[in-house]
């Protein structure tokens, strides 16, 4: 498990690529670039001004995105849909640079994965 919470981080560059869990809440993150790509446990990124998923991350455990700048539609997704979004959302180009969502592509992602 990798803990880097409450450190005023603005970047995740240099993080390990595979971890048992990733706890980076309470920072100043606006990007997930540099984050682990495989998380065998939970991902906690709450209390960060992040609004886009710009890295593909495979997450086995729970995902917590409370008190972030994600659109409310993203915050209301089920854990299953969040996992698909974090792992494949970049491939579908779901997020625009301003944090807005391409609704058609988001719908297509879930349709392609039958959820």
pLDDT in tens, 47-95: 999 999 999 999 999 999 999 999 999 999 999 999 999 999 999 999 9
DSSP state of 109: H
Residue range 37-54, pLDDT digits in tens: 999 999 999 999 999 999
Q: Residue 106: enclosing H or E segment and its boundaries?
A: helix 103-112
pTM exceeds 0.85, yes or no:
yes
Q: Quick one: CA dihedral 38, 42, 82, 47, positive or negative?
A: negative
Give, rounded to a whole angstrom, the gap between the first and last alpha carbons of the chain: 29
* Number of other CB atoms surrounding residue 106 within 10 Å: 20
pLDDT, position 97? 87
Distance of CA 70 to the CA centre of its chain: 10
Distance of CA 2 to the CA centre of its chain: 16
């Amino acid at each position: 498990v990798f803990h880097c919470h409450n450190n005023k981080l603005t970047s995740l560059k240099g993080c390990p690529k595979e971890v048992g869990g990733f706890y980076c809440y309470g920072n100043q993150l606006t990007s997930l670039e540099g984050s682990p790509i495989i998380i065998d446990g939970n991902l906690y990124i709450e209390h960060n001004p992040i609004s886009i998923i710009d890295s593909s991350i495979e997450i086995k455990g729970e995902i917590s995105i409370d008190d972030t700048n994600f659109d409310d539609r993203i915050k209301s997704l089920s854990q299953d849909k969040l996992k698909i979004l974090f792992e494949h959302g970049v491939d579908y180009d779901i997020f625009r640079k301003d944090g807005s969502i391409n609704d058609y592509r988001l719908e297509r992602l879930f349709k392609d994965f039958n959820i």
